[in-house]
Amino acid sequence: MIPDETMDRDRPRSARRRAAMYIGRGILAFAVLLLLLEAGLRWGLGLGRPLLYVEDPSAGYLPAPGQSLRRFFAHISTNSFGMRSDSIATSRSPGVPRIMFVGDSVTFGTTFVDQNDIFTTRIKNWFAARGQTAEILNASAGGWAPANELGFLRSRGVFASDLVVLVLNTEDLTQPMAVWKEALQFPTRNPPSALTELWLHYIEPRLAGMTGVVDPGAKVDGVPTTERVGAQLRNLESARDLAMQQGARFEIIFSPSAQPEVQTDEWAHAVLLLHDWAAREGVKILDLTNAYSLYPAQSVYFDGLHLRPLGHQLAADAFESDYSHAHDSGPSN
């Protein structure tokens, strides 16, 4: 028989071994759980690989060229010029319409709307359904103001387009140029992990009483005085002149905001100033207010500004109808 004192000495060692084993198993289980969570966030929601941006001396910033990613079940890709549209040549093929849309996050479509569902892609597919090839360019970035869009056009031109369409929302009527700054909304590199992005972009801001950091968008910038609106109208006039000098027609799409901050008489007057300017200058405005008003706002917008797929469909339908009306024999060559 083993003496009792030997058994007493072995009991603490045995207990420590069991404790170490349990701790090791716990650490292993926790590591496996983290790996599974990381994989689920990365491959399921696309976290860990956000849309990246690059600084630009003329436009302030723009989506980095050559990206292809999937975020929140939506596919996003940019061509070699940072546009959310197909690859294009700098010259236009004879007989092929080329339409360039320029705007902010409303035009870009955010990373919550699939590439196939944004209105510029829908318009391209509409041409294809009619048996005609058309090149549709989407030059846009979240948070851009008219000054950023003008800077993009000045630095790169209109890519031989025969029609340039500037897409405005209500807040654009007072928004100054968006300057580049390092921020969570504008990542320049991928985070170390999907879990890191989940914490920094969504959990930590909410714990601090803020909303999560999502796609950047236009911000209401002060009272829409005549002077503030006038500054933006001068940017529009410069964009119009540049497009015409390069042989393109120029139009505007107005996508009204449903955010409560702009539902005032002052903002209504700002929109009226836009329409008055367009009438004086002979600039066509396709106002989407009536099209949106046929549906509940929550069906058209995510947040009163950024469009859901239905909003993009309404914008595409309105443009297609207007384009058809202007080209009775079909899209012009």
Strand partners, 186: 183
| pLDDT, tens digit (0-9, with 9 covering 90-100), for 234-275 | 999 999 999 999 999 999 999 999 999 999 999 999 999 999
- E-state strands within the chain: 53-56, 60-63, 68-71, 74-77, 98-103, 135-140, 163-169, 249-255, 284-287
Domain count, the chain: 2
In a domain, 298, yes or no: yes
What is the residue range of 186's domain? 53-326
Q: Distance (Å, rounded) from C-alpha 84 to C-alpha 71?
A: 14
Q: What is the CATH number of the domain that holds 204?
A: 3.40.50.1110
How many Cβ atoms are within 10 Å of 60's Cβ, its own excluded?
A: 23
Mean pLDDT of the chain: 89
Q: Is the pLDDT of residue 60 over 90?
A: yes
Q: What is the mean pLDDT of residues 273-278?
A: 97
Helices (H), 109-167: 119-129, 146-156
Q: Is 6 in the same domain as 79?
A: no
| pLDDT, tens digit (0-9, with 9 covering 90-100), for 114-137 | 999 999 999 999 999 999 999 999
What is the share, in percent, of the chain residues with pLDDT greater than 70?
90
In a domain, 333, yes or no: no
In a domain, 314, yes or no: yes
In a domain, 7, yes or no: yes
Which of 16-30, 97-111, 183-197 bottoms out in mean pLDDT, i.e. has the lowest?
Answer: 16-30
Characterise 247 by phi-psi region: left (phi > 0), alpha (psi -120 to 50), beta (else). left
Q: Is 11 in the same domain as 78?
A: no
pTM of the model: 0.87
Report the relative pairing of strands 68-71 and 74-77 from DSSP bridges: antiparallel
Q: Is 21 in the same domain as 140?
A: no
In a domain, 313, yes or no: yes
Q: Distance (Å, rounded) from C-alpha 22 to C-alpha 20?
A: 5
Q: Is the pLDDT of residue 310 over 90?
A: yes
Q: Is 59 in the same domain as 28?
A: no
Contacts of 263 (CB under 8 A, 6+ apart): none
Q: Is 37 in the same domain as 145?
A: no
Q: Distance (Å, rounded) from C-alpha 85 to C-alpha 67?
A: 11
Q: What is the mean pLDDT of residues 279-305?
A: 96
Q: Is 77 in the same domain as 150?
A: yes
